[in-house]
Chain A
Amino acid sequence: MVARPVVLRRALRSALRPSAKSPIALARPFSSAAARLAPNSTPDYAVPDPARPTHFGFETVTEAEKRERVAGVFTSVAESYDRMNDLMSFGWHRIWKDHFVASLNPGFSPLTDGPDPRASQHILDIAGGTGDIAFRMLHTAHVVNRNPDVRVTISDINPAMLTVGKQRSAALPASQQAALTFVEANAEDLTKTTPLSPNLSAPNPHPTSAIPSNSVDLYTVAFGIRNFSNIPAALREAHRVLKPGGVFACLEFSKVDKHPLFNTIYKEWSFRAIPLIGQLVAGDRDSYQYLVESIERFPSQEEFRDMIVDAGFVVGGCGYEDLTGGVAAIHKGMKPRQ
């Protein structure tokens, strides 16, 4: 491993450093008030700060700069995104996504073929621009589980990716299209979401609104979270919007350290072949170079699991499931009932 991600180092440092923020703790060092406050207060590494250094591939940039450059990457790959995914993973990403959705089984409701009598299920698909996960969710919920009372909000920071998803959604049955909403939002701050603007070049005419706290049943993010500028902040925002009992589910590239031989082949493929394929097929080497570097910099399964637990989720079992030996991994966490 090249280096521990900056985010984690910061998390570790601020966890070890005694907090100087609470005057109560300073004035009464043995008071239990500080300990009682601790679970509710957000540690400073989980507060987005545009000037804080983070990593963009192997480079170190500020959080604000990363946001812009990630936007640049995905605006340039939006059109060729699916074709490239197929070429890079030999089509295997479809299997991962199918398994991810099947393991979540959205819309499943016992006994009745219809909806849960208490409330409809709300799924928030973060960084879901092209709709890959959202369309599978709707199919499982509406067709497999025969539960039409499931709605999906597709959120992405990048309007170019959302536009691709919107176009693709035109092929869906009308009932499924009606259950879809497309919003532009930054996953670190879901209090400011904007419906997708019809015209990408003009400023978005819609007013911003917030995703309310405790309103989401299932929060999914597939191959997106490693591009976030501040992952702890995004995890805490997920915790805020989820209902108690709601599930955070993440599909992301991960580490193959458990299989050294396969790891060698995999690394060769990532660092030599993928940028080359990007150059030949999409005419964009830099974006795909960023892609493989960002995978390399993403924390290991255990580290990321600990970040999820740190944000207040509970996990079942070891907290993650390796796919294809760890090339990708599914992490799940549940917001506990208070």
Chain B
Amino acid sequence: MPPTRSIPATAAATRLLLRPTAAATPLRLRSLPRQIPAAPSPSRQTPRALLSQSHTRLYRSTTHPPPPGPFTPTKSAILSAAYAHVPEHGFTPASLALGARAAGYLDISTTILPDGAFSLIKWHMYAQRVGLAGREGSIAGFEEMDVKARVEALTWERLMGNKAVIWRWQEALAIMAQPTYVPASVKELAELADEIWYLAGDVSVDPAWYTKRASLSAIYAAAELFMTNDRSAGFSETRNFLRRRLGEAGEIGDATRSVREWLSFTASAGVNVLRSKGVPI
């Protein structure tokens, strides 16, 4: 994605550090199409291509192309074929092997996936997260909403991405909770929270950047768990749950802001009183 004007290298780096969607970036940029770099050819991967698979950037950048996805073409072929078997067989080695067969590979081929069934869960989460950017247009009245409403709409949209596999999602959560997979799962959750705030058009660069993402991560994880047990029509209970949690988070945000204002006012008033008494501060 080319920058609209040339920026000196240091300035660009500072902006990157702060947060690339900082106020300087026009909001309309987010509707530009993403660049997906060409994936390495399946037969001969260069070591360079292998190394670049481990992407470290944890935020969206409008001035840099997104890091390549964690899936090579061969893995994508097996996993996308295996994903079709998830509603019936769950996130299990059986789904993987059936997928490998469908993609023209052998039962044994799935053993090169280093995380086994967790690879399939990662595939689901990655595909849903990346797919979210294309679906914002389908949300009615998205452009007119304020940031808070957009966050709710996008989070709901992402939860609906689990609808097809919701009967299997409890076992997926169990796998994600295994100590080996916790870091990868938490990272994926953080990236999802960042994606939602980004797509909602949030441009804050203050410490709230962190608290917003942390609170949304917690709310999303809770709503996901709630949804696995939700039997209401159209998951309306989950929708209400999500709305209540987001509302509470907003109230807590308001409350902390009030407390902070009161504290700073009292402190400065106290200092002024002392100064008026001749204390050299």
Residue of B nearest to A103 (CB): B111
A22 at the interface (CB under 8 A from B): no
- Cβ of B97 and Cβ of A314 under 8 Å apart? no
Residue of B43, B95, B101, B114 touching A314 (CB-CB under 8 A): B43
Which of chain B's residues have a CB closer than 8 A to the CB of A217? 106-108
B100 at the interface (CB under 8 A from A): yes
Contacting A at CB under 8 A, from B118-152, are 119
Which of chain B's residues have a CB closer than 8 A to the CB of A314? 42-43, 45, 72, 74, 112
CB of A121, distance to nearest CB on chain B (Å): 7
User: Number of contact residues on B: which range applies?
Assistant: 20 to 34
Q: Chain B CB within 10 Å — which of A103, A110, A247, A338 has the most? A: A110
Count the A residues whose beta carbon is within 8 Å of the partner chain — how many?
A: 38
A315 at the interface (CB under 8 A from B): yes
- Cβ of A249 and Cβ of B111 under 8 Å apart? yes
Which of chain A's residues have a CB closer than 8 A to the CB of B108? 104, 106, 108, 121, 217-218, 245-247
Q: How far is the CA of A317 from the CA of B43 in the complex (A)?
A: 15
Contacting B at CB under 8 A, from A304-336, are 305-306, 309, 312, 314-319, 321, 332-334, 336
Knowing A110-B107, A332-B111, the reply to whether A316 touches B50 (Cβ < 8 A) is no
B115 at the interface (CB under 8 A from A): yes
- Cβ of B93 and Cβ of A108 under 8 Å apart? yes
Main secondary structure of the interface of B (DSSP, over half): helix
A39 at the interface (CB under 8 A from B): yes
- Cβ of A245 and Cβ of B114 under 8 Å apart? no
1/0 per residue B81-95: CB within 8 Å of A?
000000001000111
Residue of B42, B89, B112, B119 touching A332 (CB-CB under 8 A): B112
A259 at the interface (CB under 8 A from B): no
- Cβ of A334 and Cβ of B107 under 8 Å apart? no
Which of chain B's residues have a CB closer than 8 A to the CB of A312? 43-44
Which of chain A's residues have a CB closer than 8 A to the CB of B43? 39, 312, 314, 336, 338
5 new A-B contacts at CB < 8 Å, known A104-B108, A309-B50, A337-B42: A111-B94, A121-B108, A309-B44, A319-B50, A334-B109
Q: List 19 A-B contacts (CB under 8 A).
A: A39-B43, A39-B44, A105-B93, A110-B93, A110-B94, A110-B95, A110-B107, A217-B108, A218-B108, A245-B100, A246-B108, A246-B109, A247-B111, A309-B44, A309-B45, A316-B112, A318-B53, A333-B112, A337-B74
Residues of B within 8 A of A (CB): 42-47, 50, 53-54, 72, 74-75, 89, 93-95, 97-98, 100-101, 104-109, 111-115, 119
